[in-house]
Amino acid sequence: MRGFGVGCAAFVLCFSMFLGQALAGEPLDTIKQSTEQVLEILRDPQLKADPAAMEGKIWEVVSIRFDFEEMARRALAVHWRDRSPQEQREFVDLFGKLLQRSYSGKLAQYTDERVDYLGEEIEGPRAEVRTKLVSKTMEIPIDYRMLKKSTEWRVYDVVIEGVSLVNNYRNQFNRIVVSSGYKELIHRMRTKWEDLIRESEKKKTT
């Protein structure tokens, strides 16, 4: 499924960056806190020797900050309401597992960048944190769209250079559902999940 590859850069850049300076409100503080936690994990020499343990620790941080149900609902868009509660739960679970397997193992590749925090906009329960990733060869704007549920701000979308991660998936999923049906979408997602599991097991034996 090409969309999971296309979104990889977005997810990787979300949580593997050095801190910049900005006046921080609550949503921005949330992003900074998560970043610091991930960087601490990436720098841990014991975890560097155990990639599987490192991935697990990173995912513990990421999973707390991302609202995967909201992401999944928005990615499935109009087709979400056609699904039964059981199908919705299944989709959220599969979507989250695919994100985890697709991206968490790649986070350690990104450790030399700097992030400038440009500010935040808060409107009721919604917020957008604006940042810019800076390296020796590039500058990339990265914005985090967040929702406040209960007392916590959680990320439901990431926008890199104007391209939305959720919209990326929405377009892909919609094409599959319209052309081949929802069952085909689930089949492809499961196949991708199984492929990722096999790749992970293969790496352990090499």
Confidence of residue 104 (pLDDT cuts 50, 70, 90): low
How many residues does the structure list for the chain? 206
Q: What percent of the chain has pLDDT over 90?
A: 42
pTM: 0.78
- Higher per-residue confidence, 30 vs 199: 30
Specify the number of domains making up the chain: 1
Average pLDDT, the chain: 82
Average pLDDT for 125-142? 88
Which of these ranges, 16-30, 40-54, 164-178, 180-194, has the smallest mean pLDDT? 16-30
- Higher per-residue confidence, 136 vs 110: 136
Average pLDDT for 112-131? 88
Question: Where do we find the tokens 């790496």?
Answer: 203
In whole angstroms, give the CA distance from residue 200 to residue 193. Answer: 11
Strand partners, 123: 126
Chain centroid to Cα 133, Å, comes to: 16
What does the pLDDT read at residue 3? 46
Show the domain range for 180: 2-204
C-alpha distances in Å from residue 16, one per residue of 76, 127, 147, 150: 27, 21, 21, 27
CATH number of residue 55's parent domain: 3.10.450.710
Token readout for 102 is 């697709």
**Model pLDDT for residues 149-158, shown as the tens digit of each residue:** 888 899 999 8
Token readout for 182 is 């929802």
Which of these ranges, 88-97, 114-123, 195-204, has the smallest mean pLDDT? 195-204
**Model pLDDT for residues 60-94, shown as the tens digit of each residue:** 888 888 999 999 999 999 999 999 999 999 999 99
Instruction: Give the angle subtended at the CA of 166 by the CAs of 200 and 83, to the nearest 5°.
Output: 90
User: What does the CA dihedral 39, 40, 45, 50 come to, rounded to 10 degrees?
Assistant: -70
Beta strands 139-149; 163-164: pairing state: unpaired
